[in-house]
Chain A
Amino acid sequence: MAQAHGIEAEGLVRTFKGDIRAVDGIDLRVEPGEIYGFLGPNGAGKSTTVHMLTTLLPPTSGSARVAGFDIVKEGPKVRSAIGAALQEAALDNLLTGREHLRLQCALHGIGRAERKVRTQELLERVGLTLAADRKVGGYSGGMKRRLDLALALAHRPSILFLDEPTTGLDPQSRSALWAEVARLAREDGVTVFLTTQYLEEADALADRVGIIDHGHIVAEGTPEQLKAQIGRSTVEAVPADGTTPEAIARILEQFGEPTGGSPKGVAVRLEHGVEDLAGIVRALDAEGIKLQNLELHAPSLDDVFLAKTGRSLEGAAEEEEEAELT
């Protein structure tokens, strides 16, 4: 399923009543066949961006082309090229999985004979063959998400938008969905625009990640590039009984500057990365310092988020939730 165009956006802005700028000038470029992870806390502007790129919401200003088509002037062409599984698995609890797929195929103009074949093919692909003729109201969250994905693929789109596809799923269902999304991109060449608030999801799936906060993209690159911007690993030591944190800090600070760790631990950002670890162990041993635990942390996307916004991703999500409540 090769295609020449991915997604390009320039200065995309969307404001709502009360001059709320949900998306505040986003520039991005997603290459064909790429999985682009759009990472950010709740309320950062991820879904609004997806709604604009999928033509469901006109932008206030700026422009974007999806699959080579302008999202404002060529909405129907954009829609024919894309599939989307939006934040809520929008399904009709009274219809069966098969009926959903048949309706979706029919509305996309797939003929009766092909519709039947395509429906079966998609059911098999997402592992819903046995549940195909059960009403969706009885499906688990994971099954609903899988059906949602199948519906988005009904007309063989070249670009797929997945808005927080694994929110609320158990780890097993999440892994299964990740595997399917990865397969779509690797084997079928589908471009995937994936929004998520899970660091590990972006890390595991995305070729490139854009981090969004308060409607702005604050960092963009491959997960490795982004982590490399933060650079160095941290090491954290938790003292055993009878050892003071100060004694550990005195040793560790020879290897890097102090950084935040767990309440009982002492952490430093290593000057030379992983290679410092052996020296730390030797130095602690030479001083006879007993440890309860010693951990090496590679830089994570949360570190990137923290460095770019001054908040951890988890903390930012909580702030947004509090803001919504007040």
Chain B
Amino acid sequence: MSVLAQVGQIARRSILRTARQPANIIFPFVFPTALLAVTSAGLHSATKLPGFPSDSFLAFFLAFPFIQGALFATMNAGTDLARDIQTGFLNRLALTPLRGGALIVGQLGGIAVLAFVQNCYYLTVGLIVGVRLESGIVGGIVLIILATAVAIAFGALGAFFALRTGSGEAVQGLFPLLFVGLFLSSMNLPRNLIEADWFRTVATFNPISYLIEGLRSLIIAGWDWQALALAFGFAALLAAASLAAATWALTLRLTRT
């Protein structure tokens, strides 16, 4: 069986698993949009700050659900793999000719499909509530591609944690940490408008800021090539590093000869 076919089989299983767990579907759809509604209503006055890049906080904040959805992808990928380790299902897979790389990529394939659906949903919600995409239809497509790439990168990070710890609880423990990382980014304000020096510094060094800013640029600015290059670059870097780490962790976990 080709590696691609193996990836397809594992991805199919991952999608089936996700589809059959209502919590894995509902939370990534409900929470980010609920936070979008609450935050954009509460922080609307931020648009009056001099230099704020949009007159709609909703449009400014629409990048947030895409990133939060990606964090849910981390959890899903990680907890699924951890469960396979805990139940011995990974051993069952290890006894087949399945390649280690196909296992990780397949798992992420399932996450990518879910993330794609989520991202289409977030964008649709945004358009329904009146957000206008400055980059147009093509920008919307790029937005979904970028957000899906970010989900894959975070998913690989979740897979790495699962393979290292073998514990679903440990993966779930990662979620609040990543969430803190999200809050310490340019999620709520452009970096140049963050008054506290330490916060601005942390946000500048926080790669999540660049992921958000890339997504946001397509919504409120049109085609900002620098922001997009940084976002795609950081997503690719994070994906590559996480995939390499997950592959390494899998070789430690799978001791088959």
Q: B93 contacts which of A75, A82, A87, A107 (Cβ < 8 Å)? A: A107
- Using C-beta atoms within 8 Å of the partner chain, give the interface range for chain B: 20 to 34
Confirm or deny: B97 has a beta carbon within 8 angstroms of a beta carbon on chain A: yes
B13, A88: Cβ atoms under 8 Å? Answer: no
CA distance A89 to B73 in the complex (A): 28
Interface residue ranges of B241-257 to A (CB < 8 Å): 255-257
Confirm or deny: A297 has a beta carbon within 8 angstroms of a beta carbon on chain B: no
Q: What's the nearest-Cβ distance from chain A to residue B252, in Å?
A: 13
Confirm or deny: A298 has a beta carbon within 8 angstroms of a beta carbon on chain B: no
Interface residue ranges of B80-115 to A (CB < 8 Å): 84, 87-89, 91-98
B256, A91: Cβ atoms under 8 Å? Answer: no
A103, B255: Cβ atoms under 8 Å? Answer: no
Confirm or deny: B9 has a beta carbon within 8 angstroms of a beta carbon on chain A: yes
B21, A94: Cβ atoms under 8 Å? Answer: yes
Q: What's the nearest-Cβ distance from chain A to residue B157, in Å?
A: 23
List, in ascending order, chain B residues with CB within 8 A of A58's CB: 255, 257
CA distance A103 to B7 in the complex (A): 11
Confirm or deny: B16 has a beta carbon within 8 angstroms of a beta carbon on chain A: yes
List, in ascending order, chain B residues with CB within 8 A of A103's CB: 9, 13
B88, A106: Cβ atoms under 8 Å? Answer: no
A95-B16 in contact given A58-B257, A72-B257, A109-B97 (Cβ < 8 Å): yes
CA distance A79 to B97 in the complex (A): 8
Interface centre among B5, B13, B21, B92 (most CB of A within 10 A): B92
A86, B88: Cβ atoms under 8 Å? Answer: yes
Q: B98 contacts which of A56, A71, A99, A107 (Cβ < 8 Å)? A: A107
Confirm or deny: A151 has a beta carbon within 8 angstroms of a beta carbon on chain B: yes
CA distance A91 to B1 in the complex (A): 22
List, in ascending order, chain A residues with CB within 8 A of B89's CB: 90-92
CA distance A82 to B256 in the complex (A): 14
Confirm or deny: A54 has a beta carbon within 8 angstroms of a beta carbon on chain B: yes
CA distance A104 to B10 in the complex (A): 11
Q: What's the nearest-Cβ distance from chain B to residue A65, in Å?
A: 13
List, in ascending order, chain B residues with CB within 8 A of A95's CB: 13, 16-17
CA distance A25 to B188 in the complex (A): 64
A92, B13: Cβ atoms under 8 Å? Answer: yes
Q: What's the nearest-Cβ distance from chain B to residue A115, in Å?
A: 11
B1, A107: Cβ atoms under 8 Å? Answer: yes
B94, A90: Cβ atoms under 8 Å? Answer: no
Interface residue ranges of B31-70 to A (CB < 8 Å): none
Q: What's the nearest-Cβ distance from chain A to residue B207, in Å?
A: 33
A56-B95 in contact given A88-B87, A94-B20, A103-B13 (Cβ < 8 Å): yes
A94, B16: Cβ atoms under 8 Å? Answer: yes
CA distance A88 to B255 in the complex (A): 18
CA distance A252 to B1 in the complex (A): 69
CA distance A103 to B17 in the complex (A): 13
CA distance A104 to B94 in the complex (A): 11
A55-B13 in contact given A79-B96, A90-B91 (Cβ < 8 Å): no
Confirm or deny: A279 has a beta carbon within 8 angstroms of a beta carbon on chain B: no
B92, A108: Cβ atoms under 8 Å? Answer: no
Confirm or deny: A232 has a beta carbon within 8 angstroms of a beta carbon on chain B: no
Q: B256 contacts which of A56, A94, A99, A107 (Cβ < 8 Å)? A: A56
Confirm or deny: A76 has a beta carbon within 8 angstroms of a beta carbon on chain B: yes
List, in ascending order, chain A residues with CB within 8 A of B257's CB: 55, 58, 71-73, 75, 78
Q: Which residue of A lies closest to B102 (CB)?
A: A107
Q: What's the nearest-Cβ distance from chain A to residue B1, in Å?
A: 4
Interface centre among B20, B21, B87, B95 (most CB of A within 10 A): B95
Question: What are 24 A-B pairs at a CB distance below 8 A?
Answer: A55-B95, A55-B256, A55-B257, A56-B94, A56-B255, A56-B256, A71-B257, A72-B257, A73-B257, A78-B257, A79-B95, A79-B96, A79-B256, A86-B91, A88-B88, A90-B87, A91-B89, A92-B84, A94-B17, A103-B9, A107-B1, A107-B96, A107-B97, A109-B97
Considering the complex of A and B, which 10 residue pairs feature the smallest CB-CB distances, nearest first?
A: A90-B88, A75-B257, A107-B96, A109-B1, A88-B88, A94-B20, A55-B257, A90-B92, A90-B89, A106-B9
